[in-house]
Amino acid sequence: MKKFLSLLGIGLCFSAASYAQAHLGVMGVNDSCVHGTTGTHVMSYVTMSGGSSSSCFVEANFGDGSALDSFNFTGPGPSYTSIGSHIYATAGSYTWKYVLICSGARVDSISKTIPIGCTSIGGFLYLDANSNCVHNPGEILVYSSADIQVDSAGVPIDTLHTTAYWHYLMHGPASTVYTFTLLGNPVGYTASCSTAISYTYSGPSASVSRDFGFSCSATAVYDYILHYARALRGASSTGPSYIYLYASQTTCHSGTGTVTLNVSPKYSINTSSITPSPSSVSGNTVTWTLSNMSNGYWYMLYVPLTPLSTTANGDTACNNAVIAPTSDANPANNSISLCDSVRQSWDPNEKSVEPLETLAPGSLLRYTIDFENLGNDTAFNIHIQDTLSQYLDASSFQLVDATHPVNTYLYQSGGQNILKFDFPGINLADMSQPSANKGQIRFDIRLQNSLASGTTVANHAGIYFDGNPVVMTNDAYVSMPVPQGVPSYSYSQAPKVYPNPADKQIQIEVNSTGWEQAILSNALGQTVLIQPIRKGHNLLEVAALPTGLYYLQVRGAAGSHSEKILKQ
């Protein structure tokens, strides 16, 4: 089993030399916890931006007195990845140092001290059908979420937020007793076996498997869940438009759910291609009757759309859906209402945010992260790292749901709060299977209680598909309301950004006051350009930047506007 230790927030050490602005950014270290006769095998993932994979490589010092090693870069650019590995003979704490060498010049370095050697413990949350407290083949998993408290030597040190599977790494010291305790039962289930698991750590060893068994609750309890997997809303000139919904019932009690979707009148529905076949279609209302819903099985509902000839980019389209009955264990996740701007582009790996209360300091937000495997092979393990904005209250985090079994971790690195969502063994299908290559996770979190008017809260995440380069999502924004008398942001007042893709320049047309600054960031979230702007015509010179994907944020008293820019 794998554990990625975040190396976010590390300071970079630059040498006097430079090479085409090449620099390093460490994605993570993988401590596989396999400690056999040869030692602990550790892998690392390092990214480089601004350099060339043909003339740059990484020199690695693993901190255990072994000889220096070197690793080349791979990837399509402008960000490249170097994957290195090393075997430690003994457990301990070691400092890794990478030096970036381009055309013989040492241009950048980065280091991190990490613990080596551990024992991986984890297992399944399952329905114990034969009541023997053993997870037998064919016994279904529990997709209702559960929390597990982690104690080390009798002291609570962590809480795991899980669905179907849990996982933790124990690093010692030797003879430390770790205890993992369920904090309540998942909705619709009753613990039928031990609710606490103890393990005495005696040093690095092979993985340890421990499962939590449950039985169905005596009283039938239901938890229907409905949410968008995708909602693409392009105008007539931008290709096909469609909506994906996910519907599920997480408990072991079988029930029938009725899903009703109301599509924006900006579109007509292509009724012959709706999947699965609906119970009825009346105008722009689609209804499905889904029987035998249980055990967290997700129904994916697909509705193709055609924009009306009068629908243009910039229009607002609202779609809403509900799954009945709504008198279940958590009615808050039975309905969705989403209004958004009709737009040209759409990214299959994206992040969005929805205020659940009137936007004010302390308000509850719901974040959604969509991911999709666009590779030509199965994605066996996926994890997402979300570095939270300083304006979010990390202690208020709550997992809402996920389309696949997930482990959730909240920790600090470099003074920042980081959420990690780990999908071990997800086996997400490749792009040739569009009905099985998507996933989603949702969580709630509150704004800090003391935020000034006009504060913009921006948040994005990095998605890691196996050992491939990180895929960064867009920034999801909310802004605190400004005092009365200050013009509020509307789509019609948004700056116009073109061309996209861009080559040498990005032009920003501003038709109202209140837009003050343009910030351009690369795919790693690093700011590469900051420029003041004003009402009228503005130019950003980008000819010297490497090709690739960038994020442009235009902000000021009028609000915040963001777009993805492809640099050619």
* 148 — pLDDT class (breaks 50, 70, 90): very high
Say yes or no to pLDDT of 281 above 90.
yes
CATH architecture of 347-481: Sandwich (2.60)
pLDDT tens-digit profile of 110-125? Answer: 887 776 767 778 888 9
- Residue 83 above 90 pLDDT? no
Confidence band, pLDDT 50/70/90 cuts, at residue 359: confident
Using the structure block, give the residue that is written with the tokens 């013989």: 104
Q: Which CATH architecture has domain 119-216?
A: Sandwich (2.60)
Instruction: Give the integer Cα–Cα distance in Å for 121 and 172.
Output: 13
| Secondary structure class of 333 (helix, strand, coil) | helix
Structure tokens at 426: 């997800």
Other Cβ atoms less than 10 A from the Cβ of 532: the count is: 10
The conformational region for residue 296 under phi > 0 = left, psi -120 to 50 = alpha, else beta, is left
**Model confidence pLDDT, tens digit, residues 211-235:** 999 999 999 999 999 877 565 556 5
Element (H, E) at 418: strand 416-423
pLDDT band at 36 (very low <50, low <70, confident <90, very high): very low
Q: Give me the pLDDT at residue 495, please.
A: 83
Q: Would you list the domain boundaries of the chain?
A: 4-116, 119-216, 347-481, 494-567
Q: State residue 344's pLDDT score.
A: 56
On whether the CB atoms of residues 385 and 472 are closer than 8 A, the answer is no
As its CATH architecture, domain 4-116 has: Sandwich (2.60)
Position 32 scores a pLDDT of 45
290 falls in which pLDDT band (50, 70, 90)? very high
Q: Give the closest residue to 286 by CA, choosing from 239, 315, 319.
A: 319
The more confident residue out of 301 and 234 is: 301
Cα separation of 25 and 81, whole Å?
Answer: 10
The conformation of residue 518, written as its DSSP 8-state character, comes to E
CATH 2.60.40.3080 is the classification of domain 494-567: yes
Round to whole Å and give the CA distance between 298 and 278: 16
CATH fold match for the domains 4-116 and 494-567 = yes
Q: What are phi and psi of 271, to 5 degrees?
A: -65, -30
Residue 469 pLDDT exceeds 90: no
CB 150, CB 136: distance < 8 Å: no
Residue 346 confidence (pLDDT) above 80: no
The mean-pLDDT minimum among 3-17, 77-91, 450-464, 500-514 falls in 3-17
Question: Is the CB of residue 120 less than 8 Å from the CB of residue 34?
Answer: no
Number of residues that this document lists for the chain? 568
Among the listed ranges 15-29, 325-339, 406-420, 487-501, which one has the minimum average pLDDT value? Answer: 15-29
pLDDT greater than 90 at residue 406? no
**Contact at 8 Å (CB) between 567 and 551?**
no
